[in-house]
Chains A and B, each alone.
Chain A
Amino acid sequence: MEPIKTFSGKVVALPINDIDTDQIIPARYLKVTDKAGLGAACFSDWRYESDGTPKPDFVLNQPEHQGAVVLIGGNNFGCGSSREHAPWALMGAGFKAVISTYFADIFKNNSLKNGLLPVIVDEETHQQLISLAQEDADTTITVDLAAQMVTLPDGRQVGFPIDGFSKHCLLNGVDQLGYVLSLEENIQAYEGANPARVNTLEPA
């Protein structure tokens, strides 16, 4: 994974609470066996008419919002299914970060493993960002992961939480699987002390 550097970019607001992963990427697109092409299907049912033409009133289709890299969702963003296709689709659609007051647990984990930053802000900042994005499509913010800081257009800086290990991995492009595999001795020791009761390979 590429290390995440400080970035600035346009924000776009989709201020709907409880946006579930079925909206982010409907299940019928999950028949793929790779990650390609999911960006085009991101928010498909909100974004396209049944004949595939874009709905002009959907915010992500509006010309002035093209090129946005930060999505501001409503509360509890990413609830529902565990599909990692959700962050893949959002990244495929060009997003580097999602801002909300809180995220569903599995979506947050999946995002952190792919370099899509879940940025948690307080209610007031959340509302302010939504207003800014809705009033001016060119609203740009800066996201600094190292400092855990979002800089708003007026210069105000707002901190956001992230667990130390995920931060370290994202900043340095460290691969979490590599870290776990480096613990082979510990894993072996655990397995030695805790033999399996079930063997799925045995016929039954």
Chain B
Amino acid sequence: MDRYDAIIIGAGHNGLVCAAYLAKNGQRVLVLEAAATAGGLGASREFHPGFRASIAHSVSHFSQAIADDLQLASFGFDPASDPIPTIGLGLDGNHIVIDGTKLLGAGSDDVAAYGRYCKSMHRFADVLKPFWLKTMPRIGSANFADLAAFGNIGLKLRRLGRKDMQEFLRVASLPARDLMDENFENEILKATLSWDGLLGAKMAPRSPNSAVLALLYRLSGEARGAHAIAAGGVNALISSLRGAAEAAGVRLRYNADVARILISESGDGLSATGVELRNGERVEADRVISSADPKTTFVNLVGVQYLDIGFTNRIRRLRCDGYVAKLHLALSELPLFDGLQQPDGRLIIAPDMDAIEFAFDDAKYGESPKNPVMEIVLPSLHDPSVAPDGQHVLSAHVMYVPLKLQGGWTDAARDQMCERTIDIIARYAPRIREQITGQEFLTPADIERQYRVTGGHWHHTEFAVDQMLMMRPTYGAAQYQTPVPGLFLCGAGSHPGGDLVGGAGHNAAQVILG
């Protein structure tokens, strides 16, 4: 039987990043992927004959440093591609276009305010910036590196100066609603700017304490919050990571569904020694690295009998309920949105912040939203291979669609939500219905089942202040090591977590390589 230095569970982007780093440093690495292809939530798959889509549809801050280290450019991915604009759609064709620090379609007061807003937000975001590719310090540790890391946060804060530091501490815990109301007049602008603090989360503009922090956190990435779709789309990122991993010597196995992590028990305690697949096959390794979400990893794959009770309870209460559904439309031609020459960008449908709040209100009580809000992208504009010639794919993140719908998700409930979503798109793109040749609507429950991620949550666990930084996923496992010797985490449930970043995979590899 082959013996490996490391087995990585899951060939999502973090698993591939971690695998590539380890293999480049001479380790024998096996990646086991339950699905038939690599990519996880970034994997593209056919949803209608000839049409492909992935759950993730844009890349906002994949690390340039990782791309350089792994030479992803030579495998077909360039993270430095031009950012795409974010467009807040208006019913009358009066859209708001946000292109980096440029703002079009808003009044002159808002344009001036936006300049000031960008400046201060980026200044604040820089405080968080050094942490993307760093292992978080342990709370209560007297270790020099840990203390230095905390010191660095304090120093960064202090360097803002007294006034900005006070403002940072005020703003970081503000609901998005207050921040936007303080700064802007235009309702579509406010809704669109708050979007990135809310995307993927169980939060709405009025939710306290987390939305602005999450927004700042995204802005602190290397791309300063700008979304981009590289040539080749998300698919190019995944295939380049796969290429880099394989070139480094990583062995990838598909349809290899890990049933449990093997734990050896002895008088010296426990250690992870390998995995057992669903078909009963066992593979051994010196260490096991899981890119599965924390609940799946600890509760299902390890088993609570190997974990302390308090730790298990912290994993159990991680908030992992997804609130984003996915709509994929196969279109016979390029859809036309009123007042937009080319639907090239991230199109946000959220007429005002109340619209977002009301959609969330429905979902938080277990109902599907009567007027969903959403983010639309046309991946086929960047990667022609996802649709037949001249035809297109529309991909939409639809919020807020609850994981736990009252009465449960039935085909009828899913169809109703899908039709409701298309109706709303049709308000902005009136001819859309005649262009549809195929469609797919994935509720969080569908995503949970099909992509094996607890709650169907793309960030694996909610991005909230109590589940971020050195608390992600929880103390005791926030430095990629886990309480079980030989078992590590490298997925989105670990810092910096969420989105297509690669930070968790990179940081885990650094910890393992020492």
Q: Is the pairing of A and B real?
A: no
Q: Which residues of chain A have a CB within 8 Å of any CB of chain B?
A: none
Q: Which residues of chain B have a CB within 8 Å of any CB of chain A?
A: none
